[in-house]
Structure 1
Amino acid sequence: MNKHNAEYYISKLGLLPHPEGGYYKRTFQSEEQTSDQELSVEFEGKRRLYTSIYFLLGSDDVSHFHRLKSDELWYYHAGSPLTVHVIDEHGVYKEYKLGIDLENGEVPQVLVPKNSIFGSSVKDEDTFSLVGCMVSPGFEFQDFELFTQDELLAKYPQHQDIIMKLAYDLIPV
């Protein structure tokens, strides 16, 4: 198998399709948990202190706009650079280049603050990006929210171009 293609990493790491797009596998989770009374954000029940996944995105796919109640720290691992697109809580759009070409503005890790709406795309064509994502407090699908184009355009019409690229027309069932 060619180590320079997505299928190699999907197979060797046992990655599965993710609802936001791409492939993932949970790799670590803390044994320690915290209760909802100890957290500054409203969670139902307890959360692990952190969870971590591998996430692989091909250039023919996007990670659709979504939101988490927790901070998410992204780490570059392999493949092409990844662009992380963020609409923060104030409606400001920013993009971050996740990679190792520091001379061209890439960085090896990016923090997406809790309650931001974000997604990602691969910079180069016919390739992929393999990253790691650590979420704290730990990720649970009940804290994961996907968005349609209409929902986001109603709130952020000034970001129409990126919303049309990264938001679902209809959320898949």
Structure 2
Amino acid sequence: MTKTTASFWIQELLLQPHAEGGYFRETGHSPELIVTEDRLERYLYSNILFLLTADNPSHFHRLKSDEVWYFHEGSTLTIHLLHPDGRYEAVRMGRHPENGELFQFTVPKGVIFGSSIEGQSGDFALVSCMVSPGFDYRDFELLPYDVLLKYYPDCGNVLEKLAYKKLPRDCFRNEQV
């Protein structure tokens, strides 16, 4: 069996760079719309394919919706969660449940999270994510290092790795966590 690479999957699945890091492509959404608590219309759910590499992690961000992750291929992935109560949690996803790795995990709405591949350059993980209510960039916020450090001072190591020091252009900066 030929070993697949991140480049293979990026090309094969027509993935594009994502502002939070990694590569993605929306694969669909529900035909139904719902009205959220803040009176905005959203799809009932939306789906993406998402690929991360050891060199291109998912930086800390927050959604107003739950996000369910499904592991498909590649190296073990760690989802790093910063809970509103100040607690840090790491959840490992992969193909080895005997090592505590999960095939599926739900990130609760309002929890700040990022994801990384612990490995060598070239290592990757391919997952799909389902967001409900459906993803909308108006419900997405990237959170920079300096803001996160104020609220999570004991998480300096993971913040160094997964928090942007300077947010990409055109991204919303939130001063409050």
TM-score bracket for the superposition, by shorter chain length: over 0.9
For residues 8-40 of structure 1, give each alpha carbon's deviation from its aligned partner in whole angstroms, at most 9, with x where no partner exists: 11111100000000000001100101113xx4x
Instruction: Tell me, in whole angstroms, the C-alpha distance in 1 between the residues paired with 2:120 and 2:90.
Output: 18
Residue in 2 aligned with 1:52? 47
Identify the residue that residue 169 of structure 1 maps to in structure 2.
165
TM-score (norm 2): 0.91
What code does the residue aligned with 1:143 have?
D
Q: State the aligned residue count.
A: 167
- 1:161 deviation in Å? 1.1
1:154 match: 150
Matches of 2:120 and 2:80 in 1, distance apart?
18
Q: Which residue of 1 aligns with 2:89?
A: 94
* Bigger mean CA deviation after superposition, 132-141 or 122-131: 122-131
Amino acid of the structure 1 residue aligned with 2:6: A
Structure 1 runs not aligned, ≥5 long: none
Is residue 64 of structure 1 aligned with residue 59 of structure 2? Answer: yes
Are 1:141 and 2:137 an aligned pair? yes
Q: Secondary structure at the match of 1:110?
A: strand
- Give the partner amino acid of 2:26: R
1:116-135 correspondence runs (5 A): 116-126=111-121, 127-135=123-131
1:7 paired with 2:3, answer no
Distance 1:169 1:8 in 2: 30
Distance 1:124 1:110 in 2: 21
**Aligned partners of 1:147, 1:86: CA distance in 2, in Å?**
13
The two structures, once aligned, show a CA RMSD in angstroms of 1.1
Aligned counterparts of 2:139 and 2:3: Cα–Cα separation in 1: 34
User: Please, which of 106, 109, 116 is the counterpart of residue 104 of structure 2?
Assistant: 109
Q: Secondary structure at the match of 1:95?
A: strand
Q: Give me the TM-score of the superposition, normalised by structure 1.
A: 0.93
Superposition deviation, residue 123 in structure 1: 2.1
1:124 is displaced (CA, Å) by: 2.1
- Spell out, residue by residue over 1:75-128, the C-alpha distance to the aligned partner (whole angstroms, 9 max, x if none): 001011110000112111000111120111101011100000000001221310
The more displaced of 142-151 and 122-131 is 122-131
Give the partner amino acid of 2:163.
Answer: A
